[in-house]
Amino acid sequence: MSETDKRHATRKSSQLSGRSRAREFVLQALYQHLVGGNAAADIDVFTRDLSGFHKADAAHYDALLHGCIADATLLDQWLEPHLDRPWPEISPIEHAVMWMGAWELQHCPDIPWRVVLNECIELTKSFGGTDGYKYVNGVLNHLAPHLRPTEVAADQAARTHS
């Protein structure tokens, strides 16, 4: 990473909202859960000790982390019809981000569906493989109308008429 890239990454990180920071910490925690099989309570203790956690939205972090782990089987069931490969072939980063997106679409109606998708895309661009964000976007874009039918339809109708 060049010095310019490092400065840009630092500047970008310093501009993140509390919720965006919470998502980054949840992603790290879910990665530990998916790869290491670590228990939610152990991951939570470790994650809260990480540098910068105090700037994250702790309430959103709690809800998202514990909600994703508790609902993991259901989230996988919602996501599977939109996958083109089995879970073992999907990176843990993409898997975790898709869990987060599906969980927020279902449980956070105060966050517009396009914001949920954008946050997931940005997380995957930052932490995932080269084109992983495209895959995450495609899957969540297909899932969103099932979890937020009214909002997605209204948004698409507004875009058609503008």
pTM of the model: 0.88
Domains defined along the chain, listed by start: 3-161 (1.10.940.10)
Q: What is the pLDDT of residue 4?
A: 36
Question: Average pLDDT of the chain?
Answer: 90
pLDDT for 12 beyond 50? yes
pLDDT for 83 beyond 70? yes
How far, in Å, are 33, 65, 75, 118 from residue 44 at the CA level?
10, 8, 20, 25
pLDDT for 1 beyond 80? no
Q: What is the pLDDT of residues 31-74, one digit of tens each?
A: 999 999 989 999 999 999 999 999 999 999 999 999 999 999 99
Q: What is the pLDDT of residue 156?
A: 86
Of 113, 125, 120, give the one whose Cα is nearest residue 151: 113
Least confident interval from 7-11, 58-62, 104-108, 154-158? 7-11
Of 149, 138, 148, give the one whose Cα is nearest residue 83: 138
Task: Sort 135 into a burial class: Cβ within 10 Å, 0-12 / 13-18 / 19+.
Answer: buried
